[in-house]
A and B are shown apart, each in its own frame.
Chain A
Amino acid sequence: MSRAALLVLADGRFPAGGHAHSGGAEAAVKAGRITGAASLEDFCRGRLHTTGAVSAALAAAAALGVAPGALDEAADARTPSAALRVAARRLGRQLLRAARVAWPSPGLDALAREFPKGAHQPVVLGAAARAAGLGGEDAAYCSAYESVSGPATAVVRLLSLDPFDATAVLARLAPDLDDVAREAAKSALRAVDEGVDALPAASAPLLEVGAEGHAGWAVRLFAS
């Protein structure tokens, strides 16, 4: 196993299409709830501890080898917004395409066969981490970081926020990222024994409501 594989997988330039999604930040900017670095930080912290924690746990469980079918169903149940389920599967399909080239493996081939229309992105992320020889906590870190780096990058474009300030937000979130990744890895271990009901299901009501509205916009910068 190579720890450096984690850097490849977590790199924002990994060609998996994530840059086209704002993680709900575009809707929050439009609603006037994100106006600068401070409210971006609040937004990211809330997202990290809710849907970010759930994604991290799903990714960690997939990296530990929990059946992708059960995890994908668990992801559906934890993603009530139909618009967000569509976005998560689209992202999963794009990530799988890149990951199969980067880390060819029978596991990723089987995942592509089982989900021709795409599995939820965190499930694919965990399977890719597994194929790259990474562990559950690695996958959790990668997923948790994505849950905040996506909105931070998007807000730089949406509000012309100073990229230095956006990066400082991410740096301040580092202790929270550690906590979330550690907890996600623990719950993934429980899921290995007890099944997917052991995974967290924390939700962010405004992200769900905002996503349904955002999907109906005629003109938008980001896909979700």
Chain B
Amino acid sequence: MDCGPGDEGDGSSPVTTPTRTSSTPGRPSPPAEPSTAGRSSAAGRPFIAGQSSTAGRPFTEGQSSTAGRPSAPARLLASPAGVHAHARIAARADPHGRTVLPVLDGEGPLALRRTRATGPAAHVTLVGAMSGPLGGDSLAIDADVGAGARLSVGSAAATIALPGQDGAAARYDVRLTVADGAELRWLPEQLISVRGSALRVTTRADVAEGGRLVLREEQVLGRTGEEPGLLHSRLTVRYAGRTLLDQELTCGPGAPAGWDGPAVLAGHRAVGQLVVVRPEFAYESPESAVLGESAALTPLAGPAALITALAPDALRLRHILDDALSRLM
């Protein structure tokens, strides 16, 4: 499955270009692993950073399918206040029932790699080619899964919201569409809100009747022992044109009062949601369940279930969500 017809993203040499050398002093760069060359190894973290200079934020443009688009450096420089990047994935079923990826366009910090899959689904890994988002950045990812296709998307490392220079907020918008008979598993790593950062995240999933979705979101408030930044997230899931879930969470300094009080987070520093949409749930809805002290599974008002979990840290949060997912599938 690793080298199917849709594998434009694999194997090509990454072009690594440092950017914003003067405007972002001190910006952390991901660790250099020149040997990964665009492919995630079994053990290593497939960061594509490599040989860049020390000052800037390196990014990687690994796809051959980007011809005809303005090059990322030009787009980045055109927007000195922040990075604007838009990545796109389209998954389609070929006549043999395999999933191909006619579009796999990363941009700027959002580099995409088709990675080895064990099942029939195509697997894409979002590779953190720059650190960020930083304040002022505007990132977007669209994933579109066509009828009968199966796509699984993960990420190589946590996304870390960092402060910008002028206090501006960053945006991160994820738009997912799943057609009839298609399946999307959207299982990125955690989003970590770092002290002084401000980030607005929206995730919107539109699932057509007969489509399937597994979607995980995890927010971690601050690195270990650190105060969080301001994080606003909104998660909207629609099925067959009806909104099944619309949920906002705002936390950190500047959030409405009471965000860390006994009704909302009560000192928990990791909060996560796992949404599972399955047409079968219309006939046999999962039952509500309490999953330990601070997690619960509940059926939504449609063929979907939501697990909400709070935990002291990211690791324990992941354990709860993994256990809950295995229970549902």
Contacts and interface: CB of A to CB of B under 8 A. Distances in A.
Q: Do A and B belong to a common assembly?
A: yes
B257 A208 contact: no
B243 A74 contact: yes
A24 B300 CA distance: 19
B266 interface: yes
B262 A77 contact: no
Given A47-B263, A50-B263, A82-B288, A212 B298 contact: yes
B243 A28 contact: no
Nearest to B302: A76
B11 interface: no
Interface stretch (A38-46, A94-102, A108-116): A38-46
B68 interface: no
Interface centre among A28, A44, A203, by most chain B C-beta atoms within 10 angstroms, is: A203
Contact of A46 (B261, B268, B295, B299): B261
Contacts of B308: 80, 205, 208-209
Interface residues of A, number: 42
B262 A206 contact: yes
A24 B296 CA distance: 15
Nearest to B289: A212
B247 A80 contact: yes
B96 to A, nearest CB: 38
B264 interface: yes
A33 interface: yes
Main secondary structure of the interface of B (DSSP, over half): strand
B322 interface: no
Given A205-B310, A206-B310, A49 B258 contact: yes
A84 B266 CA distance: 20
Contacts of A28: 262-263
Interface in B218-266: 234, 236, 242-250, 256-259, 261-266
Contacts of B244: 76-77
A91 interface: no
A7 interface: no
B127 interface: no
B282 to A, nearest CB: 15
Interface string B289-316: 1100111111111000010111000000
Contacts of A200: 248
Given A33-B262, A43-B262, A77-B245, A206 B257 contact: no
B173 to A, nearest CB: 15
A209 B295 contact: yes
B298 A81 contact: yes
B249 A46 contact: no
Contacts of B309: 209
Interface string B86-117: 00000000000000000000000000000000
Contact of B257 (A45, A85, A197, A207): A45
B73 to A, nearest CB: 36
A49 B256 contact: yes
Contacts of A197: 243, 246
Contact of B290 (A76, A202, A213): A213
B205 interface: no
A206 B247 contact: no
Nearest to B237: A77
A158 interface: no
A55 to B, nearest CB: 13
B271 interface: yes
A146 B298 CA distance: 25
Contacts of B257: 45-46, 49, 176
A47 B258 contact: yes
Nearest to A202: B248
Contacts of B242: 73
A59 interface: no
A204 B264 contact: yes
A8 B264 CA distance: 31
B294 A203 contact: no
Nearest to A212: B296
B191 to A, nearest CB: 15
24 contacts: A39-B262, A42-B261, A43-B261, A44-B258, A45-B258, A46-B263, A49-B256, A49-B259, A53-B256, A73-B243, A80-B300, A80-B308, A81-B298, A82-B298, A201-B234, A202-B248, A204-B263, A205-B249, A205-B264, A208-B296, A208-B298, A209-B309, A212-B288, A213-B290
Interface of A: 24, 28, 31, 33-34, 39, 42-50, 53, 73-74, 76-78, 80-83, 85, 176, 197, 200-209, 212-213, 215-216
Interface of B: 234, 236, 242-250, 256-259, 261-266, 268, 271, 288-290, 293-301, 306, 308-310
Given A80-B306, A197-B246, A203-B247, 10 more contacts: A33-B266, A34-B262, A43-B261, A77-B301, A201-B246, A202-B248, A208-B296, A208-B308, A209-B290, A212-B296
